[in-house]
Amino acid sequence: MNKYPILAVFLIVLSACQGPADEVAPPPNILLFLVDDMGWQDTSVPFWTERTAFNDRYRTPNMERLAAQGMKFTQAYATPVCSPTRISLMTGMNAARHRVTNWTLHKDRLQPMETNHASLQFPHWNVNGLSPDSTIEHAVYATSYPQLLQEAGYYTVHAGKAHFGAIGTPGESPLNLGFEINIGGHAAGAPKSYYGKENFGNTEAFKDSPWPVPGLEKYHGEDIFLTEALKEEALAALALPLAKEQPFFLYMSLYTVHTPITADPRFFESYLEAGLDTIEARYASMVEGMDKCLGDLMDFLEEKKVDDNTIILFMSDNGGLSALARGGQPHTHNKPLSSGKGSVHEGGIREPMLVKWPGVTPAQSQNDNYLIIEDFYPTILEMAGIDDYQIPQTLDGESFVSLLQEPSTGEQTRPLFWHYPNEWGPSGPGIGAFSAVRKGDWKLIYYHVDESFELFNLKEDIGEQNNLVSSEVEKLKELAEVLTNHLQAVEAQMPSHKSTGLAVAWPNEKSINSKEE
Amino acid sequence: MNKYPILAVFLIVLSACQGPADEVAPPPNILLFLVDDMGWQDTSVPFWTERTAFNDRYRTPNMERLAAQGMKFTQAYATPVCSPTRISLMTGMNAARHRVTNWTLHKDRLQPMETNHASLQFPHWNVNGLSPDSTIEHAVYATSYPQLLQEAGYYTVHAGKAHFGAIGTPGESPLNLGFEINIGGHAAGAPKSYYGKENFGNTEAFKDSPWPVPGLEKYHGEDIFLTEALKEEALAALALPLAKEQPFFLYMSLYTVHTPITADPRFFESYLEAGLDTIEARYASMVEGMDKCLGDLMDFLEEKKVDDNTIILFMSDNGGLSALARGGQPHTHNKPLSSGKGSVHEGGIREPMLVKWPGVTPAQSQNDNYLIIEDFYPTILEMAGIDDYQIPQTLDGESFVSLLQEPSTGEQTRPLFWHYPNEWGPSGPGIGAFSAVRKGDWKLIYYHVDESFELFNLKEDIGEQNNLVSSEVEKLKELAEVLTNHLQAVEAQMPSHKSTGLAVAWPNEKSINSKEE
């Protein structure tokens, strides 16, 4: 066990576990539970200052259980779209630096909506995603933290959605990124079907399609939802490290609640009977199926008596989908937050985050500090006691381990950045090519297409309804400077205007203008 | 013009048109407007004795306009599934006779749900659909009425869904079935996408799929709904016969309102704002888009001043879908009728039918006589004045031309038959392998799987809630005899029981038993 560097914090765990004081504590198991496209309000756990109608709609008793045992983060951020988040998670880099700024699938191919944009010429971003070697063009070369965990002796299991690299590149397989086991992960970011009876999309009609979920053949034809099948396989995969008393890292990366929004038959009917819109009843049933998976994993850890030495991190990869494919009016599904997936408004980036670290996180605690997805990289390594590593990339993320013992602190001054020189497709509030910064209570958004700004005070205006560019000119200038400095420092790619061929101006070149003008 | 046989009824038209009394009247143009999967209540035109909430929900002003100008049929029947209806329409044969009893697509291939049935072994029905020549196995060899119209001098246009024959057989193309022009018709019975922006499904992902709509390339990438594109092309196709004063037959066979249930952006928002379930708002928008197409065709006929010599028949191919994919509770979307598509209950087979024959059908009239889809074949030929034709098939349909001048008659004694020795997939009221007969107010259903009956008095129980097999034993025996005689006369195929290898008994062998026993 001498290859595991041990942190001081383990001593706390150790005493909590009542082990002999002179024995070296085992590194903790780590479960990262990442939900796809889950919004900040898609849970019965309230993440706002007030309980909302959504908190009453959704049933997530196991998230409540986890929140009761650990710490709730009310201001955890990801990026608005899946791949940038997942690459930030795996590399510790901000999206502006890693350049995987939009979602990936086909090698060397831009999204069709990007090649056809009316007025912007987009940069050739890293369409091939993450690569563990330096020879792949248009990919970010980096070492993932699962790779470092594996090298430090962890048994690393990947279950569910990967979506790290384009088809035909090494990054498409979790096995090339530090995972010992891969259950159902590949280049695509959504399943063709959630139903075992439909072979999770592996039918004749889609035989050449990139979307059907790979593996899981034993469940084909069975009456089982994808989430359940992934969980069963994940639990089976843990038998080996448990038997060997080897620490494990389980990356439980659900395909739910991403489209296709599909009724989970175990839960659907009750939501329909409650009078929900049919699509919303389907969505709620997927949320509850996700929660059951979390609960089953927690039960398993307790049964195996490893819950006291297993850290659980719960997170989502972007805001809840709201611009399309949902029931009811678009852009309303994350209220009080504005907009949803694809948007840099809070609805697209603020996530339901929970952390339980036995002996470290106080039970039923709440933490209002903001943090961002690239922070998970150094945090998880610190949790595992790994502090001496050589990696090719520059880290932007900062460990939030110190936040886990203290529910709250004073005002934060660290800036967080988002950068999306891309096109997602649908339109709506906060959707479109942009760069943005949050610092303290303030958020500045810079839209590339017309070089305009939105400035919000999030403490007073969580719904981002009042654009203060005209009245808060000094704050606008200050944040435009901070944002510009970051973008230039990381050599961020910017789109150019098709009409002039000129690159979009840096925010600080435009910061005396406002969106209203 | 001497090749057009002229019916006496044309003289009526003639006098209405104030043509010279000694001139031979031109044959009428005929527009058959067939909607896919439209239910009896999916319209603002009331087809029941009472106006329903559905009549208030849906907006079909052009159906109202057509009903005001012509005759409404309140008891028009099709079969519960698309292909049997379409083959009955094209051949004049009852489904028990033509044996295309389930939906077609792939050559020589049974549906997967049929090969896997728990207890029934299904017959090898005519999976290849309709064939214009006698060499195709597992297909019904017949001459279509469009073929006869074409031979009699009509310019025949097919626009929309064909779904007549399996892939790789002559019947897959309307051009082999008497149509001079084919717009968007092929073997498949649904589009992959209704959106021009999605190339109606012709994308890389579905390049080997049978579902994308063929042709219509000029609309690819455009912001146009499929219904609109079909209509534009259909109108363009009529330029030639109008210029030549050649009578035309336009088979306007919409893909709507079949799945994928898709928002028609021209109408969707208003239904959502009215508080409809999102899927139901999408559905209602498709219904209104269908109605706009009807209205545009009617406008066109008026503009071209041929409306006075054009017969319009409006019909659907089976009941409204209700067992799956709809908003809200299943089996409720055709109320007061029970069940929907796939079911032999009224919700699966009763159709909204309208006929306008200028000078023949009284304006704003209602006809409560029942009729069935195979009746369209001899009717349309009689309308065209074609009464002397040689065809290989035996007709079951009866012309309803005589009904078009008289809104109502006394009690009917003719039996109508349905026969479905097949499996559709979903379950629900009236769904499953069956044979059925309607005679007068009575309807007997015989379920193959357990050789049981349902007997309803439709006049008193349109919702088919009260099964009278126990109390009306004489009626049961009488109808079982009528049904058996028909099935045996047309050599209907029956399933057999997997457990015994024995064919399902004939209805009259079981008619002393009831479903309750």
pLDDT higher than threshold 70 for residue B11: no
Domain boundary (B380, B405, B430) is at: B405
Contact B205 A209 (CB under 8 A): yes
| Min Cα separation B76/chain A (Å) | 31
Chain A residues closer than 8 Å to B274 by CB: none
Assess whether B366 and B472 both reside in one domain. Answer: no
User: Tens digits of per-residue pLDDT, B234-246?
Assistant: 999 999 999 999 9
- pLDDT band for position B112 (50/70/90)? confident
User: Tens digits of per-residue pLDDT, B477-497?
Assistant: 999 999 999 999 999 999 999
Domain boundary (A405, A433, A452) is at: A405
Q: CB burial class (10 A; 0-12, 13-18, 19+) of residue B8?
A: exposed
Q: Give the mean model confidence (pLDDT) for residues B259-279.
A: 95
CA distances from B84 to A91, A211, B308 (A): 58, 34, 33
- pLDDT band for position A3 (50/70/90)? very low
Residues of chain A above pLDDT 70, percent: 94
Contact A20, A300 (CB under 8 A): no
CA gap B463, B450 in Å, rounded = 23
User: Tens digits of per-residue pLDDT, B118-146?
Assistant: 999 999 999 999 999 999 999 999 999 99
Q: Which tokens is B468 given?
A: 């009278």
| End-to-end C-alpha distance for chain B, whole angstroms | 64
Assess whether A369 and A449 both reside in one domain. Answer: no
Q: For Cα atoms B408, B411, B417, give the angle at the middle one, nearest 5 degrees.
A: 105
pLDDT at residue A407 in the model: 72
Assess whether B430 and B497 both reside in one domain. Answer: yes
Radius of gyration of chain B (CA): 22
Chain A residues closer than 8 Å to B207 by CB: 208
Assess whether B421 and B484 both reside in one domain. Answer: yes
Q: How many CB pairs under 8 A join A and B?
A: 30
| Mean pLDDT for chain A overall | 93
pLDDT at residue B408 in the model: 65
Contact B329 A272 (CB under 8 A): yes
Nearest CA in chain A to B275: A328
pLDDT higher than threshold 50 for residue B265: yes
HSE-up (13 A, CA, CB side) for residue B278: 18
A205 at interface of B, judged by CB pairs closer than 8 A: yes
What HEC string does A114-125 produce? HHCCCCEECCCC
pLDDT higher than threshold 50 for residue A79: yes
- What predicted TM-score, i.e. pTM, was given to this entire model? 0.84
Assess whether B400 and B420 both reside in one domain. Answer: no
Which one of A105, A116, A208, A276 would you mutate to disrupt binding with B, by most B Cβ within 10 Å of its Cβ? A208
Domain boundary (B372, B405, B438) is at: B405
Contact B278 A326 (CB under 8 A): yes
Look up the domain containing A183 and give its range: 29-304+326-405
Nearest CA in chain B to A197: B113
Q: CB burial class (10 A; 0-12, 13-18, 19+) of residue A440?
A: middle
Specify the CATH number for the domain of residue A210. Answer: 3.40.720.10
pLDDT higher than threshold 50 for residue B289: yes
Whether residue A230 is contained in a domain is answered as yes
pLDDT higher than threshold 70 for residue A332: yes
Whether residue B40 is contained in a domain is answered as yes
pLDDT higher than threshold 80 for residue B513: no
What HEC string does B201-213 produce? HCCHHHCCCCCCC
Which one of A106, A115, A271, A278 would you mutate to disrupt binding with B, by most B Cβ within 10 Å of its Cβ? A278
Contact B277 A209 (CB under 8 A): no
- For chain B, the domain total comes to 2
Beta strand pairing call for B310-316 and B350-356: antiparallel
Radius of gyration of chain A (CA): 22
How far out from the chain centre does Cα B289 lie? 19
Assess whether A231 and A183 both reside in one domain. Answer: yes
Nearest CA in chain B to A280: B278
Whether residue B321 is contained in a domain is answered as no
Assess whether B374 and B459 both reside in one domain. Answer: no
Chain B residues closer than 8 Å to A211 by CB: 205
pLDDT higher than threshold 50 for residue A230: yes
- pLDDT band for position B23 (50/70/90)? low
pLDDT higher than threshold 90 for residue B57: yes
Partner A, chain B 268-307, Cβ-Cβ below 8 Å: 272, 277-280
pLDDT higher than threshold 50 for residue A7: no
Instruction: For residue A327, give the nearest of B209, B278, B329 by CB distance.
Output: B278
| Min Cα separation A325/chain B (Å) | 9
- pLDDT band for position B19 (50/70/90)? very low
Specify the CATH number for the domain of residue A444. Answer: 3.30.1120.10
Q: Which tokens is A144 given?
A: 């993932």
Assess whether B395 and B470 both reside in one domain. Answer: no
Nearest CA in chain A to B325: A278
User: Tens digits of per-residue pLDDT, A187-218?
Assistant: 999 999 999 999 999 988 787 889 999 999 99
B392 at interface of A, judged by CB pairs closer than 8 A: no
Instruction: For residue B277, give the nearest of A209, A211, A277 by CB distance.
Output: A277
What are the backbone angles phi and psi of residue A249, rounded to the nearest 5°? -120, 115
Q: Which of A168-177, A207-216, A229-238, A369-378 is least confident?
A: A207-216
Assess whether B103 and B221 both reside in one domain. Answer: yes
Assess whether B252 and B396 both reside in one domain. Answer: yes
pLDDT at residue A6 in the model: 42
Nearest CA in chain A to B212: A205
CA distances from A473 to A333, A442, A476, B55, B105 (A): 32, 13, 5, 56, 65
pLDDT at residue A23 in the model: 58
Whether residue A315 is contained in a domain is answered as no
Nearest CA in chain B to A221: B116
- How many residues can be counted in chain A? 517
Residue A145: its H or E element:
helix A145-151
Plot region of A226 (φ>0 → left; ψ -120 to 50 → alpha; else → beta):
alpha
User: Tens digits of per-residue pLDDT, A446-494?
Assistant: 999 999 999 999 999 999 999 999 999 999 999 999 999 999 999 999 9
Nearest CA in chain B to A207: B208
B327 at interface of A, judged by CB pairs closer than 8 A: yes
CA gap B236, B247 in Å, rounded = 15
How many other C-beta atoms are found inside a 10 Å radius of the C-beta of residue A150?
17
CA gap B415, A494 in Å, rounded = 74
pLDDT at residue B114 in the model: 87
Assess whether A180 and A237 both reside in one domain. Answer: yes
Closest CA to A322 of B201, B278, B309: B278
Q: Where are the alpha helices (DSSP H) in B92-196?
A: 95-98, 112-115, 145-151
Chain B residues closer than 8 Å to A208 by CB: 207-208
pLDDT higher than threshold 90 for residue B188: yes
Q: Give the mean model confidence (pLDDT) for residues A162-188.
A: 97
